[in-house]
């Protein structure tokens, strides 16, 4: 996986196989392929991720929570690929933040989203990312978790 942490010129040689891997019956394959795709987003000059993002976001809803969480913790890297990809990511994470309220691991999902936004902000210094994180944190109705999420951004509050 470390080979994909920087720009590579072979991304499209494996792209199709990785997209297929997102729905593989083996959760380990789904987990690994989702993380690799997140890393390869910065090696996507043709913007394929714009069409494939929904399939990637869907892995954050995987029946195996560990698989979903691995994807969720890596998906912020899609926002490094460009402004359009960043906007698509922010919309997807906002949707995911809102819809997870009915799920078993709501607070972990929300924490991972807030942490991912912080990671993206640290790499891009995009103030829109910071504003979205603050908005999502303010939406949290449980004071305990609102405080926990706010700690991720403590030095910028």
pLDDT-derived band at 157, boundaries 50, 70, 90: low
- Give tens-digit pLDDT for 109-145: 999 999 999 999 999 999 999 999 999 999 999 999 9
pLDDT-derived band at 1, boundaries 50, 70, 90: low
**156 pLDDT exceeds 80?**
no
What's the number of CA atoms in the CB half-sphere (13 Å) around residue 78? 31
Nearest CA to 33 out of 6, 11, 50, 48 is that of: 11
Place of tokens 């912020």: 76
Q: Which residues form the domain of 22?
A: 2-156
Angle at 128 between CA 121 and CA 40, to 5 degrees: 50
Compute the radius of gyration of the chain from its Cα atoms: 15
CATH of the domain at 149: 1.25.10
Whole-angstrom distance, CA of residue 75 vs CA of residue 147:
24
pTM given for the model = 0.95
pLDDT-derived band at 49, boundaries 50, 70, 90: very high
- The domain total for the chain is 1
What confidence score (pLDDT) does residue 3 get?
Answer: 65
């Amino acid at each position: 996986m470390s080979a994909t942490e920087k720009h590579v010129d072979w991304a499209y040689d494996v792209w199709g196989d990785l997209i297929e891997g997102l729905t593989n019956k083996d959760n380990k394959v789904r987990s690994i392929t989702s993380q690799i795709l997140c890393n390869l987003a910065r090696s996507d000059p043709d913007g394929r991720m714009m069409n494939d993002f929904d399939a990637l976001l869907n892995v954050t809803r995987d029946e195996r929570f560990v698989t979903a969480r691995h994807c969720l913790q890596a998906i912020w890297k899609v926002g490094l690929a460009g402004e359009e990809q960043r906007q698509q990511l922010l919309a997807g994470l906002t949707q995911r933040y809102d819809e997870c309220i009915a799920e078993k691991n709501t607070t972990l999902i929300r924490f991972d989203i807030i942490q991912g936004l912080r990671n993206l902000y640290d790499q891009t210094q995009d103030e829109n990312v910071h504003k979205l994180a603050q908005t999502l944190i303010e939406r949290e109705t449980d004071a305990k978790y609102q405080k926990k999420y706010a700690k991720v951004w403590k030095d910028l509050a």
